[in-house]
Structure 1
Amino acid sequence: MTTGESVEGVETAPAEGPARVVLFDFDGVLISGDSYTLFMRARYKRSLGRKLLALLTSPVWLLLAIFSREAAAHFLVRVALLFVGQERYEKLATAFGVELARTPGLFPRDGILALRRHLHAGERVLVVTACEDTLARAILGELGLAGVPVLASTFRPGWLGMRVRRHNIGARKLVSLAEIGLTRWDVAYSDSWRDIPMLRAATEPMMVNASPRTCKRVERALGRAVGRVAWY
Structure 2
Amino acid sequence: MSKLQFVDLSVPIQPPVEGEMAGDLAVALAARVTYQDHEQSVERVTRTFGCDVADLPDGKGWATERVELSTHAGTHVDAPWHYFPTTAGRRARTIDELPLDAFFGDGVVLDLTRFGPGERVGVDAIREAVEATGAPLAEGEIVLLRYDGDKSFGTADYWNRYPGLSAEATRWIVDQGVRTIGTDAVGFDRDFPSIKEAFAAERDPALLWEAHRVGKDREYFQIEKLANLARLPARGFTVACFPVKVAGASAGWARAVAILGLPR
TM-score normalised according to structure 1 size: 0.29
Q: Which has the higher contact order (CA 8 A, sep 6+)?
A: 2
- Compare CA radii of gyration and give the structure with the larger one: 2
Higher helix proportion (structure 1 or 2): 1
